[in-house]
Homo-oligomer: A and B are copies of this chain.
């Protein structure tokens, strides 16, 4: 299984009137985790967009279990749960400093051709990277 983990310190800008991380900002934390996956397999998302691909989010689910507070260091765990030529599915778990699970999420991304803005297949080298790393992490 291809997975990664990233630490994020909650910023003041991200916290709302209740003193909790605003519920829309978890999407950004998930994004930071997806970047860590890219890094792990040696992919640059910038290069990927420069080659003419987009990977927009088609679906997201979030469960808010406990609030995250200003200045806490969160641990965001991400794993690739499914992928095909046309989509990527990730699951996320966020833990606070007491190692309590505070948030769970899921995203579905689809490969888009940057020119036509239509669905397309992932480039072959990208699928090979996913295969290689998914396998190596199983064994």
Size range of the chain A interface in the assembly: 35 or more
Bound Cα distance A135, B103 (Å)? 35
B residues in contact with A4, CB < 8 Å: none
Q: Is the CB of A17 within 8 A of B64?
A: no
Interface of A is mostly: mixed
Q: What's the Cα separation between A98 and B6 when bound, in Å? A: 25
A24 touches B28 (CB 8 A): yes
Q: Is the CB of B60 within 8 A of A31?
A: no
Cα of A64 to Cα of B26 in the assembled complex, Å: 16
A residues touching B (Cβ–Cβ < 8 Å)?
Answer: 9, 11-13, 15-20, 22-28, 31-32, 35, 44-46, 49, 54, 56-64, 67, 69-71, 114
